[in-house]
Amino acid sequence: MAVVAIGTVMAVLDSSIANVALPTIGRELRADPASSIWVVNGYQVIVATLLLPFSALGDAIGYRRVYASGIVLFTLGSLACALSKTLLLLVLARALQGVGGAAIMSIAPALNRTIFPSRMLGVAVGISAFTVASSSAAGPTIGGAILAVAPWPWLFAINVPLGVFDAVFASRSLPGGSGTGARVDFVSALLSGATVALVVMGLDGVARKLPPFLVAGMLAASIATAAAFIRRQKRLTHPMLPLALFRIRRFSLAAATSLVSFIAQGLAFVALPFLFQSVYGYSAFASGLLFTPWPLAIAVAAPVAGRLSDRYPAPVLATLGLAVFAAGLVCLAFLPAHPTTADIVLRAILCGIGFGFFQAPNNRELLGSAPRERSGSASGVLGTVRVTGQSLGAAIVAIALGTAAGAALAPGAGTVLAGPAHAALGIAAGLAALAAGVSGLRLLGKGGNYG
């Protein structure tokens, strides 16, 4: 569990640790806000692209081999990030990090299911949800603390000694197994990856004000590749994504709930650093501290919710958690023009409690509803919807901030970002409410009896 936790913390933390540094990185590398967001999206898009292929590879050749290889690649990518001198090199290094992060995140839930007995699945998922959610939410806090004492390359250099340690012990302590021996379909990997990348690039094109025909072409191409991917899965004996999983009502609704909720969280995590620093005038360190109540609340709520999900209906707990999360986002969207620290902290706590109570039960529902022999595939879906949601959330923020590009780079023009940042938080609140509605569908109709 220690090896899995360390790798997961590094991979998930790097989805958000650079968020608080985006304004700083943008200024130092002379990039506008919409362009600097690719420091985040360059990582997340690659992760979302490769989660399903790596989960299928884990089923085929064994989880330990894929996980250990991912640790090595992630560590090399972290070193490359720390040494980058331009925005382009940094984004490319983040992409290499993303390859390793995808291998880690696609396999970790399946390893947890292997390590823990079935009767403790809720506990295992609670620990996993706590690790993932608190790492993601703590990214801005840790990033701000590092920036207070060191330049931004140290955000990535800190992973190198941890990665070396984890790589050494992964081969010694993780459960073995040779896998099923099934072949991985690389055409399916290409189609699934192209679908995610084209959607995010299309939304980014809106932020960059690319010609409408080019944006429409990318979005249309994403629909075409998605359709081709689905058709191919139906024909394969060993599909990369077993579509039969989505015929399980509990599984499909849990996946949809997770996707929408992580879009909401991705929006909030990218919009808030710009709001805190460029609009309210906080330093990067202070901005990071303002995030601290969020992960602390998750740290309290997620393990409790995981244990409760072994006793009570997971959809009830997840839906209630999402309702609280949506309420917290509404409060953040309506922050006053000159908020006090308490104004921000109380709202962050509300968001953290709600998200913690949602994630652990929802993950238990998704993993527990899948057949054990499809643990790798279910793990891949879980990771894919999370990272895809975060990427889409960041892309939507880029669209909002794109309206202020150029003006936002000028000294004293931070208030230009106030409207777009608040609008992004309002959209996040609406999506969280939508996720609560989707989650509530699990309590209705056939298959909804969780008594």
Residue of 420, 426, 396 whose CA lies nearest to 331:
426
449 lies in a domain? no
Q: Is 97 left (phi over 0), alpha (psi -120 to 50) or beta?
A: alpha
Please enumerate in sequence order all residues whose Cβ is within 8 A of that of 282, keeping only pairs 6 or more positions apart, or say none.
276, 290
With 0-12 / 13-18 / 19 or more C-beta atoms within 10 angstroms meaning exposed / middle / buried, residue 427 is buried
Cβ-based neighbour number of residue 319 at 10 Å = 24
Residues 358, 137, 70, 378: what is their CA dihedral angle, to the nearest 10 degrees?
10
Give φ, ψ of 340 to 5 degrees: -85, 165
Collapsing DSSP states into helix, strand and coil, what is residue 370?
A: coil
Amino acid at the residue 304: V
Q: Kindly indicate the confidence band of residue 148, based on its pLDDT and cuts at 50, 70 and 90.
A: confident
271 lies in a domain? yes
Question: 124 or 307, which is more confident?
Answer: 307
Q: Kindly indicate the confidence band of residue 412, based on its pLDDT and cuts at 50, 70 and 90.
A: very low
Collapsing DSSP states into helix, strand and coil, what is residue 183?
A: coil
Q: How far is residue 262's CA from residue 243's CA, in Å, rounded to a whole number? A: 22
448 lies in a domain? no
Q: Kindly indicate the confidence band of residue 33, based on its pLDDT and cuts at 50, 70 and 90.
A: low
Tens digit of each residue's pLDDT (9 = 90 or more) over 394-407: 778 877 776 554 44
pLDDT in the model for residue 302: 82
* Percent of the chain whose predicted confidence (pLDDT) is above 70: 90
Amino acid at the residue 299: A
Collapsing DSSP states into helix, strand and coil, what is residue 134?
A: helix
Give φ, ψ of 280 to 5 degrees: -90, -10
Cβ-based neighbour number of residue 190 at 10 Å = 15
408 lies in a domain? yes
Q: Per mean pLDDT, which of 57-61, 282-286, 300-304 is the most reliable?
A: 300-304
Tens digit of each residue's pLDDT (9 = 90 or more) over 332-360: 999 888 888 999 999 999 999 999 899 88
Tens digit of each residue's pLDDT (9 = 90 or more) over 436-447: 999 999 888 544
Please name the helix (run of DSSP H) or strand (run of DSSP E) that holds residue 302, with its range, or none. helix 293-308
pLDDT in the model for residue 369: 83
Q: Domains in the chain: how many in total? A: 1
Whether residue 224 has pLDDT greater than 50: yes
Give φ, ψ of 435 to 5 degrees: -60, -40
Cβ-based neighbour number of residue 163 at 10 Å = 24
**Cα dihedral across residues 129, 135, 138, 139: positive or negative:** negative
| CATH number for 285 | 1.20.1250.20
Whether residue 207 has pLDDT greater than 60: yes
451 lies in a domain? no
Q: Which domain holds residue 83?
A: 2-443
198 lies in a domain? yes
